[in-house]
């Protein structure tokens, strides 16, 4: 078993028409033992910009702390809101700095650009960026998520339909993964507002 699978996680980001969705499961485990059922792995960076951190929980938390530090400093020094692609490169750079002793985490960025265009980006644990026009998945349930997303994603979905597709993909993917689950959180990002939904899911 890889150390990235020690705590268990599932994250999905999907693009729609002028909107994006990013969601994660809530489990924190130690191998097969569940320790916390309220452990969120998607974090708000700014309005309309979220980052999902699947992987080893300790690195998820360290990375989140460091991203928050850097983004707050960016805010103060640059006096403008950080853009999704800036954030992606910032995190990628942060990860590559630890090239030979990496954080065991493969971040996923989801947000809307200045022009309210959807933006999603994934990367590996040493910061190699990979973009996709449709969806990006990560975590122990990523294989399941690929299948679900491949089946449910359609181009130009509105926020409601996109929320439905992403939620179904997430819930059904974690149901077949022992390492993730215990409900889910989904953030629906539209130009006007960001809505956060807590999904019940199977509690076993």
Partner 1 sequence: METQIGIRGDNFVVLLSDKIVAQSIVKMKHNQDKMKQLNKNNVMSVTGEAGDVDSFSEYIEANIKLFGLRQNRPLTTSECAYWTRGTLAEALRSRSPYNVNLLIGGFNPNTKKSSLYRIDYLSSICEVPFAAHGYTSYFAYSLMDKEYRKDLTKEEAIKLAIRCVKQLDHRFLVGQPGFILRVIDEEGIHTYDSQPILENGQRSFNFVNVANNVVVSEA
Partner 2 sequence: MSRRVRQVENAIEAVNHGSLVLGLKCSDGALLFAEREDQSKLLEQQQEKIYKIDKHIMTGVVGVNSDSNTLVTRSRHQAQGHLKTFNSPIETEKLVNYVAHFKHLYTQYGGMRPYGVSMLIVGYDEATSEFQLFRTDPAGNYDAWRATCIGKSEQVKIGRDILKTSLADGATLDLDQGIRAALKVLSKIKESNIDCADKIELATLKVVNGEPTIKIYTIPEIKEKLVENKDLFKKDDDSSDEDDE
Interacting residues with partner 2 (CB under 8 A): 65-66, 68-69, 72-73, 76-77
Interaction pattern, residues 103-132, with partner 1; x per rule: CB under 8 A = ------------------------------
Give the whole-angstrom CA distance, residue 190 versus residue 176. Answer: 30
Name which of 35 and 73 has its Cβ closer to partner 2.
73
Nearest CB to partner 1, comparing residues 101 and 155 = 101
Element (H, E) at 79: none
The binder of 76, among partner 2, partner 1, none, by C-beta within 5 to 8 A per type, is: partner 2
Residue from 4, 16, 39, 120 that binds partner 1 (CB under 8 A)?
39
Q: With CB under 8 A as the contact rule, which of the stretches 12-20, 60-68, 115-123, 127-135 interacts with partner 1?
A: 60-68
Question: By C-beta, is 7 or 165 nearer to partner 1?
Answer: 7
Residue 58 engages partner 1 in binding (rule: CB under 8 A): yes
Q: How many CA atoms lie within 13 A of 64 on its CB side?
A: 17
**Cα(204)–Cα(177) distance, rounded to whole angstroms?**
11
Region for residue 88 given its phi and psi (left: phi exceeds 0; alpha: psi -120 to 50; beta: otherwise): alpha
Q: Which does 97 bind (CB under 5 to 8 A by kind): partner 1, partner 2, none?
A: none
Q: Which stretch binds partner 1 (CB under 8 A): 34-42, 151-159, 167-175, 186-194?
A: 34-42
Phi-psi region of 174 (alpha: psi -120 to 50; beta: other; left: phi over 0): alpha
Instruction: Name the helix (H) or strand (E) containing 194.
Output: strand 194-199
Beta strands in 6-124 (DSSP E): 10-15, 20-25, 28-30, 33-36, 42-46, 49-52, 108-112, 118-123
Structure tokens at 10: 């599932």
Binding site for partner 1 (CB under 8 A): 6-7, 28, 30, 33, 35-36, 38-39, 56-58, 60-62, 65, 101
């Amino acid at each position: 078993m890889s150390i990235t699978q020690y705590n268990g996680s599932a994250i999905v980001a999907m693009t729609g028409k002028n909107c994006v969705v990013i969601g994660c499961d809530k489990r924190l485990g130690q191998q097969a033992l569940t320790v916390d059922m309220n452990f969120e792995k998607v974090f708000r960076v700014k309005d309309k910009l979220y980052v999902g951190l699947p992987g080893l929980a300790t690195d998820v938390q360290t990375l989140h702390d460091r991203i928050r530090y850097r983004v707050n400093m960016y805010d103060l020094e640059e006096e403008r809101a950080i853009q999704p692609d800036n954030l992606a490169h910032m995190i990628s750079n942060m990860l590559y700095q630890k090239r030979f002793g990496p954080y065991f985490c493969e971040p996923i960025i989801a947000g809307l650009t200045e022009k309210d265009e959807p933006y999603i980006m994934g990367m590996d644990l040493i910061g190699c960026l990979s973009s996709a026009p449709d969806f990006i998945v990560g975590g122990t349930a990523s294989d399941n998520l690929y299948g679900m997303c491949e089946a449910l994603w359609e181009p130009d979905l509105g926020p409601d339909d996109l929320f439905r597709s992403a939620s179904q993909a997430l819930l059904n993917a974690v149901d077949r993964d022992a390492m993730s689950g215990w409900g889910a959180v989904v953030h629906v990002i539209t130009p006007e507002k960001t809505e956060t939904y807590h999904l019940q899911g199977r509690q076993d």
